[in-house]
């Protein structure tokens, strides 16, 4: 609980209220020099960098909820046994969907708490900044971000899930489920997430037998998607790949309905695979396809965690949040192996993990082992489809838990 932590440093009122609303999360800047030895025996600080205000707030708050649940699960199971049952303490910092704030908050979190490890942010533009700061400070960072730019030249960044280029390949292969001769329109926001994912689509399309008939960037934060969708209509495409976050996706799907365009859609990842998408577009989502690095039906552990999350928060455990639960257990496994809260030792322990069971391994394929670049060598995405208000894993066959409904 927040009341069990150190006294919080002065913060703007809105952010202070956010912290008090987040059970188990504490934002503080206590005197670390005098408390470090005690913390090693009693609690282990885990940093959490997520946007709970700004344009990514819907996803960010869900991640905080999942992180809180995951920490509770570890602590209820006896904490970190190699450290005498030390309990995890979640240190949440709101990066406010802003790259400048992300840099200052990552630095503040590290200098104020020296956490054993950090997880965050999920949005590639924010994670790229956070990973730079964490790398300089030599603090391990685990992230659900899919940008292929991560890990390059880094030793402290770990990515347990699929890369953007893998998402692109999965989308292209799923296009063959819809048509023998896919003609795809790609529209993408001009951010790190949109650019890396769309470039992967364009580069890999010829090898997958997919023709890209429109490749159109746009500035994130649409106010009117109709001009963009009219270009899609004029292109002659029989499938659309929008690479966008939630708010833009909502406008895109509604615009497709408004202009009367009959086209199959694979919305990829981002905002497409979170509950708020369905809440906003309703039955327009039914049958639409997407790609995720995690889904709540992938194994029995994921299904059990999803049930607990759904009971508490009233919606299914979505991609980034569910992957975050797995990341928390990966950190716990590394702490057990390291038997230390020293970030370098935790980093070295993460680098040698080979997990095939339990919550830490609840990833597509069921195995986590990091290569020299910090990428999980077994990571791959899954194809999902909106079915009856829920996301069902439908691709590839080895991971599918529901049959594909023809879009």
Mean pLDDT of 160-173: 90
Confidence class of residue 25 from pLDDT cuts 50, 70 and 90? very low
**Taking 50 as the threshold, does the pLDDT of residue 8 lie above it?**
no
Q: Residue 52 has what pLDDT?
A: 95
Rg value, the chain, Cα:
21
> Which has more pLDDT, 196 or 222?
222
Identify the weakest region by mean pLDDT among 29-43, 100-114, 318-332. 29-43
Residue 8 CB-half CA count within 13 A: 18
Q: Residue 40 has what pLDDT?
A: 42
Q: Residue 305 has what pLDDT?
A: 98
How far is the CA of 376 from the CAs of 50, 144, 253, 369, 401, in angstroms? 22, 11, 33, 5, 23
- pTM: predicted TM-score of the whole model, two decimal places: 0.85
Identify the weakest region by mean pLDDT among 21-25, 68-72, 336-340. 21-25
pLDDT in tens, 47-70: 999 999 998 898 899 999 999 999
Helix/strand/coil for 243:
strand
Average pLDDT, the chain: 89
Q: Residue 39 has what pLDDT?
A: 43
* Structural domains of the chain, with CATH: 2-161+299-369 (3.40.50.2300), 164-292+382-395 (3.40.50.2300)
**Taking 80 as the threshold, does the pLDDT of residue 244 lie above it?**
yes
Q: Residue 15 has what pLDDT?
A: 42
Confidence class of residue 194 from pLDDT cuts 50, 70 and 90? confident
Separation of CA 2 from chain center: 25
Identify the weakest region by mean pLDDT among 161-175, 307-321, 332-346. 161-175
DSSP-assigned states of every residue in 13-56: HHHHHHHHHSTTB------HHHHHHHHHHHEEEEEEEE--SSTT
**Taking 90 as the threshold, does the pLDDT of residue 7 lie above it?**
no
Q: Residue 168 has what pLDDT?
A: 87
**Taking 80 as the threshold, does the pLDDT of residue 26 lie above it?**
no
Separation of CA 72 from chain center: 20
Confidence class of residue 109 from pLDDT cuts 50, 70 and 90? very high
> Which has more pLDDT, 17 or 319?
319
pLDDT in tens, 263-280: 999 998 878 899 999 999
CB neighbours of 371 closer than 8 A, spacing ≥ 6? 377
Confidence class of residue 37 from pLDDT cuts 50, 70 and 90? very low
Q: Residue 35 has what pLDDT?
A: 36
Q: Residue 222 has what pLDDT?
A: 93
Q: Residue 69 has what pLDDT?
A: 97
CB neighbours of 99 closer than 8 A, spacing ≥ 6? 125, 126, 129
Mean pLDDT of 360-371: 96
């Amino acid at each position: 609980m927040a009341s069990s932590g150190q006294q919080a440093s002065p913060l703007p009122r809105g952010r202070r209220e956010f912290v008090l609303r987040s059970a188990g999360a504490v934002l503080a800047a206590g005197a670390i020099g005098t408390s470090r030895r005690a913390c090693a025996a009693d609690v282990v600080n885990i940093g959490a960098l997520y946007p709970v205000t700004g344009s990514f707030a819907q996803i960010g708050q869900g991640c905080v909820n999942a992180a809180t649940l995951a920490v509770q699960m570890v602590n209820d199971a006896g904490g970190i046994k190699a450290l005498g049952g030390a309990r995890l303490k979640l240190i949440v910092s709101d990066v406010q969907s802003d790259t400048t704030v992300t840099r200052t908050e990552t630095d503040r979190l590290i200098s104020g708490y020296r956490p054993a490890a950090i997880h965050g942010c999920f949005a590639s533009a924010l994670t790229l900044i956070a990973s730079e700061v964490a790398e300089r400070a030599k603090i391990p960072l685990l992230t659900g971000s899919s940008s292929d730019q991560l890990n390059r030249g880094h030793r402290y960044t770990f990515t347990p899930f699929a890369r953007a280029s893998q998402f692109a390949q999965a989308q292209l292969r799923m296009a063959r489920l819809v048509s023998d001769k896919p003609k795809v329109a790609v529209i993408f926001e001009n951010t790190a997430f949109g650019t890396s994912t769309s470039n992967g689509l364009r580069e890999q399309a010829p090898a997958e037998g997919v023709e890209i008939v429109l490749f159109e960037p746009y500035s994130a934060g649409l106010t009117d998607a109709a001009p963009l969708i009219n270009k899609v209509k004029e292109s002659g495409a029989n499938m659309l790949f929008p690479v966008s976050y939630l708010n833009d996706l909502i406008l895109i799907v509604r615009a497709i309905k408004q202009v009367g365009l009959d086209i199959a859609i694979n919305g990829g990842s981002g905002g497409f695979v979170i509950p708020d998408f369905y809440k906003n577009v309703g039955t327009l989502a039914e049958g639409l396809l997407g790609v995720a690095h995690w889904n709540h039906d992938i194994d029995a552990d994921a299904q059990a965690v999803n049930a607990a999350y759904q009971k508490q928060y009233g919606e299914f455990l979505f991609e980034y949040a569910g992957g975050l639960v797995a990341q928390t257990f990966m950190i716990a496994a590394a702490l057990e192996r390291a038997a230390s809260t020293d970030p370098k030792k935790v980093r070295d322990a993460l680098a040698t993990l080979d997990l095939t069971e339990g919550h830490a391994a609840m990833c597509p394929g069921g195995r986590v082992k990091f290569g020299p670049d910090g990428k999980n060598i077994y990571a791959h995405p899954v194809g999902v489809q909106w079915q009856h208000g829920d996301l069902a894993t439908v691709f590839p066959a080895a991971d599918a838990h529901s049959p594909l409904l023809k879009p």
